[in-house]
Amino acid sequence: MLNFNNKSSKINHININNNIFGLWIYLMSDCVFFSVLFINYILSYNNMLYTINNNFYNIPLILIETLVLLTSSYTCCLANYYFNANKIKYVVYYLSITFLLGVCFLYMELYEFIHLVRSNLGPDKNYFLSSFFTLLGIHGIHIVVGLIWFITLLLQIYLNKFDKIKNNLYCLGLFWHFLDIVWVFIFTIVYLFSFSILK
């Protein structure tokens, strides 16, 4: 006699593995994409030297942005931990905190962009500013995608679709940690290293 429950669980396990494998392929391709953007930015350094001074970089704001994003990575880990412990209330709590931290990060990034544009330092000014806005803007778009993903996951929890949550939560965690790693490179190359050149 066939055991359909066992067969169904095997199919679900295969689907989960395929989803995770697909996400890793996407993240690897995104690594290549961001690498190109970083190279493009580094090539614009010569253009940077006669375009801006060290006042261009608002280091205190950038430090707060970095702290907020890294904290959101930690709270995302806690959401995964409490899901494995079957404490859904804490999963919702930490997912909500992660979402709010992501919104705060995005707000500060938009504030920086608006300030630069109003200072006549928009992306249409020259090669350096174009590469600067492109790199940070693409990262910001990824943050928006992550925030939409958080909302989707919270809706799935609200609708009690727990069969889909584990896979989505794990994949979202990978995606969000990837964005944190990219931001560490942005913080180091775009802000700290560039600031040290101008100093």
Tell me the domain boundaries of the chain.
4-198
pLDDT at 13 over 50: no
pLDDT recorded at residue 111: 93
pLDDT recorded at residue 198: 58
pLDDT recorded at residue 166: 82
- Ramachandran sector of residue 161 (left: φ over 0; alpha: ψ -120 to 50; beta: rest): beta
Token couple for 31: 């690594």
Q: pLDDT > 70: what percent of the chain?
A: 84
User: Which helix (DSSP H) or strand (DSSP E) does residue 15 occupy?
Assistant: helix 4-43
Mean pLDDT of the chain: 86
Rounded Cα distance, 160 and 94, in Å: 17
The Cα diameter of the chain in Å comes to: 78
pLDDT tens digits, residue range 121-143?
888 888 888 999 999 999 999 99
Amino acid at 5: N
pLDDT at 161 over 90: no
pTM above 0.75, yes or no: yes
Question: Which class is 4-198 in CATH?
Answer: mainly alpha
Give CA 76 to chain center in angstroms. Answer: 12
Q: Which of 108, 109, 174, 163 is nearest to 138 (CA)?
A: 109
Q: pLDDT > 90: what percent of the chain?
A: 56
Cβ atoms of 117 and 199 within 8 Å: the answer is: no
